[in-house]
Structure 1
Amino acid sequence: MNVEAPWRGNNLARQIVVLSALSFMIIAAVIGAGAFGNTAVEDQQDGALSTNGSYLAPAGPAFSIWSVIYLGLIAYAIWQALPRQRTNRRQRALGWLIALTMTLNGLWLVTARFGTLFLTVVVIVLLLAALGWTFRVAVRTREPRGGVVDSILIDGVTGLHLGWVTLATVANTAAWLTTIAPASWEKAADAIGIGVLVVVGLIGLAIAWQSSWRLTPALALAWGLSWLAVERFGGEPRSTGIGVMAIIVAAFVLLPPAVIRILRLLRPSVD
């Protein structure tokens, strides 16, 4: 009896599911971008998801990071579909999880188009949890890595996805709360926004620490925070306090892993 046959079937199924999840995500992204006459994401939900939807929404250029994340996920899906990756232990541990994150990514876009703002919060929280778990498995699994390509397409892309969605979850939740909160709450918007950014900074530092100071989540988070600052300084609603805090938190999140990674390059023995 060929005991390898069931594993081959499961591994092939995993590769197909990853490609299917990617296809779903790309179709949802194309529709979400406003193709085929649809309303773009920033104009959906009565504009709540636009750059002026809340005090914690980043400026428009921040969202260009999706192009990098999507290209990375496309490259991963093609790479993992190669025959030599079929029985790879790292792929067995992570393929299904990455497929889940791509599916939730696409589901968020579908929810933004056809669902409610509250449902977008639910889906993006699920996406954040899935990315957190996937990244944890990626950096802690004992299965051997497959070189630079493996590190970039699994650890790197998942890290960027996680870092960006961390901030996107905050912005999405703030947009929803803005639509349901009493108008009187706006008087405390600066204080609330600054407090939330402090928590974001602590979360970003915790992600770096738990991942042995991987840099990509911090890069994505700092990128989003920097554009959040730009929007608060020059856009609406304007808030100098939140803008300044966003810059401080971006530095707080980015500098520790960057310095540690540089030290490790200079002194490989440093932990």
Structure 2
Amino acid sequence: MKRIWKRIAVAVSAVVAVVGAFVGSGAAGGTPIQDAAGGALSASSTAIAPDGPAFSIWSVIYVGLLAYAIRQCFRTADDDRHARLTLPVVLSLLLNAAWILSVQFGFLWLSEPIIVALLAVLVWTFVLLRRSRPSGVVEAIVTDGTFGLYLGWVCVATAANTAAVLTAAGFRGFGLGQDVWGVVVALVAGLVGVLLAVWGRGRLAPAASLAWGLAWVAVARLDGPLVSTPTAVAAVVAAAAAVVVTLVVRARAGWRGAPAAVAGGAKATHFAH
């Protein structure tokens, strides 16, 4: 019965997150996130804000989260990997919805602790996934791939959200200017991508979504009302560094070969997650 309630909790939380995303998109009559809170999260709000199309990655993430919620309902009773993921997954889904609501209702200051907590929970999830290999290709894509994308994107989103909150609060960057802060934050995001690549043994999904977000930061800084060529260049360099290091680490892991202890179909998924 306890296992059943855990599965229900994940499924319900996934529905809550998707409904929150629907509301946040403005499709339900609400204000789109980029226009909410006085436009604090729009592409022209800060030097590290990504351009609008960047947010389309949420569609992929939400599809993955729904697929995960459905898949975990049919997992075997002795699947410890999914049992350990229940709490952080539920928390991440609820925090996601809470972040959207905080912005929708104009509580921009509240969105900051929420998204930082979301990032922390996703790091926790990443740690748990890193400790074991997926059981097959589907597991690698649905679980490791989804939460890898989720983590990488939220790294960029946290940076953008923090910049928006500080700007709305009147912070002016100690007089250093938007170019300096844009370059610094972009390079820090790239460093995070490099660390995830090394620590995660070359997992592709976090690097892909982080690079996606940084690429759209570069696009936003090359056109529109808030142009910053130095930030755009730094964002491209940071994205490239995260991707290259990930591929190098992945290749080295492949050359060494999969651990002998890998059982069943896990070896075949070595490059899938």
TM-score normalised by the chain length of structure 1 = 0.90
Q: 2:62 aligns with which of 64, 70, 77?
A: 70
Does residue 153 in structure 1 map to residue 142 in structure 2?
Answer: yes
The residue correspondences of 1:1-271 to structure 2 (distance < 5 A) are 9-82=1-74, 84-141=75-132, 145-182=134-171, 188-265=177-254, 267=255, 269=257
Change (3 A) 1:234 1:11: same
Number of residues of Structure 1 aligned to a counterpart in Structure 2: 259
SS at 2:135's partner residue? Answer: coil
Aligned mates of 1:208, 1:184 — CA distance in 2: 30
Q: Note the alpha carbon deviations across 1:200-222, whole angstroms, 9 max, x for none.
A: 12211111111112111111000
Change (3 A) 1:209 1:184: closer
Q: Gapped runs of 5+ residues in structure 1?
A: 1-8
Shift of 1:100: 1.4
Change (3 A) 1:184 1:109: closer
Asked whether the 8 Å contact 2:33–2:103 carries over to 1, the reply is: yes
SS at 2:45's partner residue? Answer: coil
SS at 1:216's partner residue? Answer: helix
Asked whether the 8 Å contact 2:33–2:41 carries over to 1, the reply is: yes
Shift of 1:226: 0.5
Aligned mates of 2:227, 2:58 — CA distance in 1: 25
Q: Gapped runs of 5+ residues in structure 2?
A: 260-273
TM-score normalised by the chain length of structure 2 = 0.89
Aligned mates of 1:59, 1:99 — CA distance in 2: 29
More helix as a share of residues? 1
Asked whether the 8 Å contact 1:15–1:86 carries over to 2, the reply is: no
After superposing the two structures, state which structure 1 stretch, 182-191 or 237-246, moved more.
182-191
Q: Which residue of structure 2 aligns with residue 4 of structure 1?
A: none
Aligned mates of 1:156, 1:90 — CA distance in 2: 15
Q: Which amino acid aligns with 1:149?
A: V
Percent identity between matched residues is: 41
